[in-house]
Amino acid sequence: MNAVLKTIGIIGAGQMGCGIAQVSADAGYKVQLYDVSDERVQHGLATINGNLARHVTSGKMTDDERSATLALISGSSDINDLAASDLVIEAATEDESVKRKIYAQVCPVLKPEAILATNTSSLSITRLASATDRPEHFMGIHFMNPVPVMKLVELVRGIATEEGTFATAKEFVASLEKTVTVAEDFPAFIVNRILLPMINEAIYTLYEGVGTVDAIDTAMKLGANHPMGPLQLADFIGLDTCLSIMQVLHDGLADSKYRPCPLLVKYVEAGWLGRKSGRGFYDYR
Ligand code: CAA
């Protein structure tokens, strides 16, 4: 555990927030999980419990260890409950206006020395920092999905991030037994700068009729040794998130090679957001 950090606040009880909460508690940190409604918080806690229960079944964890990890996580829909946090990681939806509203609510609640980090997968850290009262204590800590399984975390400094903030975040990530990679503050950083154009190209491949969903995913699984086909992975990430990352790349780098595929736009407009909505390139209902 990091000596400076005792309590980790997590904003957002979706798949990323819950994953970060789980791995933080697993490493021994007290975790305060916040979302806007009790229903979302309870759903998040149930997801974490389910993940830990799988670890007990597979023999990776004892039932006592599961209970001890769970006991470190509290859930709340009252933002004031984040007041004791030494580090808060915002893992809300990938929408800049939503994140800005959250920062306006949470900053007055936090201790002056608390670090505020964002799990954004694409947005400018410097711009987000400007919406807080602590740009020097603000940075990007970008986990990959599913958080408990994926070994990598991208760290991104904003223009004003202090070295002490960065060093604390780096130590925190190491204490979770994850590997850090450092990215500069460019649209979508490293992983999504490379991954999302590949997924977008797979959607173009479907749109243009080059192959079926099954053909494209099988081709990339068996032909390129990817653990999931790109369309299955898009459903897993969330098609709304994929679209928003492509839009950030397109707007931020002003290159037509990042144009979101019209089929991706259509699916999102239809509310077909992938696994979380029950339908995407595959049907999960
Ligand atoms: N949450 C927590 N744990 C999960 C999980 C989930 N959603 N899904 C699977 N796991 C765990 C399982 O419990 C299992 O753990 P144990 O070995 O401890 O039992 C392990 O993962 C393997 O699971 P399975 O055998 O059921 O499934 P699999 O072998 O097919 O692996 C996978 C599943 C790990 C998700 C694998 O398909 C994979 O690596 N897919 C690619 C994931 C990827 O590329 N992620 C990056 C997305 S991009 C991103 O995150 C950046 C962004 O900002 C958008």
Residues 6+ apart with CB under 8 A from 183: 140, 142, 154, 155, 156, 189, 190
25 and 108 together in one domain? yes
Domain-embedded: residue 32: yes
Atom from ligand 1 closest to the CA of residue 142: 53
Domain-embedded: residue 24: yes
Asked if 225 is an active-site residue, the reply is no
Q: Report whether pLDDT(3) > 90.
A: no
130 and 12 together in one domain? yes
- Mean pLDDT, all residues of the chain: 97
Q: Report whether pLDDT(57) > 90.
A: yes
User: Which residue shows structure tokens 């077909």?
Assistant: 272
207 and 168 together in one domain? no
Regarding the beta carbon of 131 and ligand 1, being less than 6 Å apart is answered no
Q: Report whether pLDDT(2) > 90.
A: no
Task: Provide long-range contacts, Cβ within 8 A and 24+ apart, for 150-154.
Answer: 150/178, 151/178, 151/179, 152/178, 152/179, 152/181, 152/191, 153/178, 153/179, 153/180, 153/181, 154/180, 154/181, 154/182, 154/183, 154/189, 154/190, 154/191
Domain-embedded: residue 117: yes
127 and 217 together in one domain? no
* Predicted local distance difference test score (pLDDT) of residue 1: 79
**111 appears as a binding residue in the annotation:** no
Regarding the beta carbon of 60 and ligand 1, being less than 6 Å apart is answered yes
Q: Band of the pLDDT at 250, cuts 50, 70, 90?
A: very high
Domain-embedded: residue 284: no
Q: What token pair was written down for 174?
A: 């190491």
Regarding the beta carbon of 146 and ligand 1, being less than 6 Å apart is answered yes
210 and 148 together in one domain? no
CA distance 1 to 258: 40
Regarding the beta carbon of 195 and ligand 1, being less than 6 Å apart is answered yes
CATH number at residue 196: 1.10.1040.10
- Tell me the CA–centroid distance for residue 131 and ligand 1, in Å: 33
From 183, 201, 233, the end of a domain falls on 183
From 183, 209, 231, the end of a domain falls on 183
199 and 268 together in one domain? yes
Atom from ligand 1 closest to the CA of residue 242: 54
121 and 256 together in one domain? no
- Tell me the CA–centroid distance for residue 150 and ligand 1, in Å: 7
Asked if 96 is an active-site residue, the reply is no
In this structure, which residue's CA is closest to atom 14 in ligand 1? 149
Mutate to test the pocket of ligand 1, among 23, 94, 144, 149 (most ligand atoms within 8 A of CB): 149
Asked if 113 is an active-site residue, the reply is no
- Tell me the CA–centroid distance for residue 174 and ligand 1, in Å: 20
Whole domain around residue 17: which residue ranges?
7-183
Domain-embedded: residue 1: no
32 and 59 together in one domain? yes
CA angle 98, 104, 110 (to 5 degrees): 120
Domain-embedded: residue 106: yes
- Tell me the CA–centroid distance for residue 149 and ligand 1, in Å: 6
Question: Mean pLDDT throughout 11-26?
Answer: 97
* Predicted local distance difference test score (pLDDT) of residue 270: 98
From 183, 216, 249, the end of a domain falls on 183
Domain-embedded: residue 77: yes
Percent of the chain with pLDDT over 90: 98
223 and 153 together in one domain? no
Q: Report whether pLDDT(89) > 90.
A: yes
135 and 26 together in one domain? yes
Domain-embedded: residue 118: yes
**101 appears as a binding residue in the annotation:** no
CA distance 124 to 223: 34
Regarding the beta carbon of 121 and ligand 1, being less than 6 Å apart is answered yes
* Predicted local distance difference test score (pLDDT) of residue 4: 84
136 and 244 together in one domain? no
CATH number at residue 145: 3.40.50.720
19 and 130 together in one domain? yes
Number of separate domains in the chain: 2
Asked if 142 is an active-site residue, the reply is yes
pTM of the model: 0.95
